Amino acid sequence: MKSITKFHNEIIKIVGPDFVLTNPNDILPYLHEERGLKKSNADIVVRPESSEELAKLVKLCSNNKIPIVPVGGLTGLVGATVASGGIIVTTDRMNKILNIDQLNKTMTVEAGCILADIQKEAIKHDCLFPLSLGAEGSCRIGGNLATNAGGVGVLRYGNTRDLVLGLEVIMPNGDIWDGLKALRKDNTGYDLKNLLIGSEGTLGIITKAVLKLFPSPKTTVTVFIALNELTRVLELFEGVLKRFDQNVSAFELISRIGLDMGLKHLSGMHDPFQQVYPYYTLIELTTSFEDADLRVAFESLLERFLENQTIMDAVFAENERQHSSLWRIREELPAAQSREGGSIKHDISVPVSKTVDFITEASKRVKELLPGIRPCPFGHIGDGNIHYNLTQPRDISKNEFMSYSSDLNRVVHDLVTEMDGSISAEHGIGLIKKSELNHYASPVKMKIMRSIKAALDPDNIMNPGKIV
């Protein structure tokens, strides 16, 4: 970077010398890429403490045409935080919970707040912030907003976009857009909030957000269900949804191969059943009322499903320990699969009615391309989001398996497109899926997206190279 000393000194004036990192050892933690597929590098890492500091920093970069890559908890899976020179800006010091309005059911937070801390703060006020995902102990809400994260509660509460009322954002020229309103209705012009959520830092840096809160659940019923046939899962889903409607907060699919990997690679994990079954669902019902009848009603419904063999067995969580044990099977499945060997991951969505057909047909097609491949589908079947991950055959090396990535991606994503689905359900585009987006998105859509990028960030300094 030319004139780095002068530029460096200008940054120090804004945030102070202790929060401008140039030593390679200090920078290294901020170069982390979760899947190890892309290499990140940067000249400087900056840790601002406030929106005002960050706005000055962005304006300085804009004036000097210096690229900026914003990072949060570095838990993303598509390379959206990979830098190629320029500076990395982290929000890890912008981590304050600013306000809770219990009557309005809102919480105002800074972007650097860890998701689990937001959840805990909501509980202190007898409320729920329902965004929940495997990385919640380290991911930051700014990153969740930037990627429009999904998680296990989408069926009932929606994606991150649906949990936000207002934002504050630093635009690529250093302007601060103050849209930090706690309004349920605001029909004044273009919806800038929803444009910026999911933009992966390419249109601006989210610094604050007004989040929706919900009544804290007073009754929770969690059950792990065994299925003999994948085709039965939609019958089960329809029956549960018809009977319990808004009480259904999660409906997750787990395959036997995924459970076996967990049992093999993760200590302390136990099979909920003595008999082996090919598929399982993890279902959770919640209500904000003390309702002892909720479990009774659920048991009655499952008895009918047992009688007609829609399901083969069921285990209820009797306490918090059992609840955590059942959820661990689902939450740690990606980690278990990664330890099994090479893994090619797909984060797709199709209409719920097509989920079973997708899994069946995709498995047929990938096995035709690469015999011995081990599909490991799992995920949020209640909202159509399947993590269709592929594990390497036992008789080839990881490197050989990974060389099939492009061909396997094409097979899977072609089928997704045939079924009017999406090649990215909740993880975003970043670097890793950029070429896939260009391949599958319509020319009109890409033209509109590039026009928006050019209008807001004409110098292409804001997280360049991502999405478009």
Sequential pLDDT tens for the chain (468 residues): 444 588 999 999 999 999 999 999 999 999 988 888 888 999 899 999 999 999 999 999 999 999 999 999 999 989 999 999 999 999 999 999 999 999 999 999 999 999 999 999 999 999 999 999 989 999 999 999 999 999 999 999 999 999 999 999 999 999 999 999 999 999 999 999 999 999 999 999 999 999 999 999 999 999 999 999 999 999 999 999 999 999 999 999 999 999 999 999 999 999 999 999 999 999 999 999 998 899 999 999 999 999 999 999 999 999 999 999 999 999 999 999 999 999 999 999 999 999 999 999 999 999 999 999 999 999 999 999 999 999 999 999 999 999 999 999 999 999 999 999 999 999 999 999 999 999 999 999 999 999 999 999 999 999 999 999
Per-state percent for the chain, helix, strand, coil, to nearest 5 = 40, 20, 40
Helix (H, G, I), strand (E, B) or coil at 462: strand
Q: Any alpha helices (H) in 266-332, and if so which ranges?
A: 293-307, 320-331
CB-neighbour burial class of residue 175 (10 A; exposed 0-12, middle 13-18, buried 19+): middle
4-90 folds as: 3.30.43
Q: What's the predicted TM-score (pTM) here?
A: 0.94
Asked if the domains at 219-334 and 341-426 fall in one CATH topology, the answer is yes
H helices of 130-188, in order, are: 141-147, 154-157
Which residue, among 428, 58, 87, has the nearest Cα to 206 in the 3D structure? 58
Q: What is the CATH number of domain 341-426?
A: 3.30.70.2740
Under DSSP, the state recorded for 184 is S
Question: CA-to-CA distance for 174 and 326, rounded, in angstroms?
Answer: 47
**H or E element in which residue 454 lies:** helix 443-456
Q: How far apart are CA 232 and CA 230, in angstroms?
A: 5
What CATH number does the domain located at 219-334 have?
3.30.70.2190
- CATH architecture classification, 97-215: 2-Layer Sandwich (3.30)
Write down the domain spans for the chain.
Answer: 4-90, 97-215, 219-334, 341-426
Strand partners of residue 428: none
**Tokens standing for 361?**
């047909």
